[in-house]
Structure 1
Amino acid sequence: MNDIKELILDKAKERMDRFGFKKTTMDEISKDCKISKKTIYEHFTDKEDMFRCLLLRECQQTMKLLFSRLENVADPFEKLILLIKTAVTYFNQDHFITRLLKDEDALFLTISNKKYHEYIDEEVISIIAGVIREGKQQGKFRDVDEKIVAYAGFKLFQAFSYARTGQLYQEQDEQHYTAVLVDFILHGLVKK
């Protein structure tokens, strides 16, 4: 991505994070960037296209951050443990991408569009399925449908992090819930 496009996305991120999608205008982003609206439209067809690019950039950066820690881990069992722990910790913090995915204040109504969620889900599930496939090939994981198990594991992860729909028991901390989630998922996968 070129520098101007990155600048536009950075300024759009700042403004959308503060005011939400609906209240952010191309004029304001243009002023923030100190460039013309015409320049913005050379890079994005409209505000939704800009938001889509911003969302994809943020998701790719987040996935890169989370999955980069797995590069030097050869054991698929350890990869899944590290991935779950790292991801739960990350998504329980206050990051732009977490606020987008939670969208508690309805600042990002376009995020509710299924195609954005589907893109994110497909990417993550594909990577998790690859780790499960690797574990099966090494004889460490049971013979399971890796895509279905990856999907189920991802949905469990969401329930323990940004997509939590209810309060977890207050007397337990995040590490306890992460340990329970890791135990549950891996005991379903590990070959006995």
Structure 2
Amino acid sequence: MEDIKNLILDKTKERLERFGYKKTTMDEISRDCKISKKTIYQHFTDKEDLFKCLFLRELNKTMEILFSRIRGVSDPLEQLVLLIRTAVPYLNQDHFITKVLKDDDLFLAMNRKYHEFLDKEVISIIAGIIREGKQQGKFRDVDEKIVAYAGFRLFQAFSFARTGPLCDDEHIEDYTEILIDFIVNALVKK
């Protein structure tokens, strides 16, 4: 049962990447999977539900990739620096989740609540790191939720949510280090 669901999600992902949300139909997904539409509807209520499930699956994979690197690190400052150094280049690549966040059609297809879910989840993790840094006496006494929110928005500007040309791929490491310097100087107790 789970194999069929993953097959449907995989084929939907391939089709969305190639043709976009508007041109992806349940008939085409059915044909790609070599199963009936009825089978697809046994797993997903409609195209939006299918897309939502795909987005959440890919979001979980992305979060696992990005946050797995900091699990063994106990120092909150090192966690934040490593997270930024991992996430900026990753989200500047052409991954499905990045495409969804950049593509207007996919963005609109994905209900606003899923963007809010992503934001809350990430901001909560970052706030936890900041809270730990405060408890260890390494970070200034700041409102961790507000700082996490501001830091996340700033991070977005350096990665998938760029509104204008900031840097090319060649100089991404330089801009990443500037972002790290800015955040470190904003948080670290002097």
TM-score interval for Structure 1 and Structure 2 normalised by the shorter chain: over 0.9
Q: 1:26 to 1:145 in 2, by over 3 A?
A: same
Q: What is the CA distance between 1:134 and its match in structure 2?
A: 0.8
2: distance between equivalents of 1:101 and 1:109? Answer: 6
Corresponding residue number in structure 2 for 1:62: 62
Q: What is the CA distance between 1:113 and its match in structure 2?
A: 3.5
Residues 109-132 of structure 1 deviation map (CA, whole Å, 9 limit, x = unaligned): 534642121111111111111111
2: distance between equivalents of 1:139 and 1:168? Answer: 34
Q: Secondary structure at the match of 1:23?
A: coil
> Unpaired runs of 5+ in structure 2?
none
Which among 118, 121, 132 is matched to residue 120 of structure 1?
118
Any conservation in 1 of the 2:48–2:109 contact (CA below 8 Å)?
Answer: no
Any conservation in 2 of the 1:153–1:185 contact (CA below 8 Å)?
Answer: yes
Corresponding residue number in structure 1 for 2:96: 96
- Within 5 A, what are the aligned runs for 1:50-89? 50-89=50-89
Corresponding residue number in structure 1 for 2:33: 33
TM-score by length of 1: 0.94
Corresponding residue number in structure 2 for 1:137: 135
Corresponding residue number in structure 1 for 2:182: 184
Q: 1:46 to 1:168 in 2, by over 3 A?
A: same
Any conservation in 1 of the 2:131–2:144 contact (CA below 8 Å)?
Answer: yes
2: distance between equivalents of 1:147 and 1:187? Answer: 17
**RMSD of the TM alignment (CA)?**
1.6
How many pairs are equivalent? 190
Give the share of equivalent positions with the same residue, in percent.
70
Q: In structure 2, what residue type is equivalent to 1:73?
A: V
1: distance between equivalents of 2:182 and 2:30? Answer: 49
TM-score by length of 2: 0.95
Corresponding residue number in structure 1 for 2:12: 12
> Unpaired runs of 5+ in structure 1?
none
Q: In structure 2, what residue type is equivalent to 1:86?
A: T
Any conservation in 1 of the 2:73–2:79 contact (CA below 8 Å)?
Answer: yes
2: distance between equivalents of 1:2 and 1:112? Answer: 23
- Within 5 A, what are the aligned runs for 1:148-159? 148-159=146-157
Q: What is the CA distance between 1:2 and its match in structure 2?
A: 1.3
Higher alpha-carbon deviation: 172-181 or 9-18: 172-181
1: distance between equivalents of 2:42 and 2:137? Answer: 52
Q: 1:81 to 1:171 in 2, by over 3 A?
A: closer
Q: In structure 1, what residue type is equivalent to 2:145?
A: K
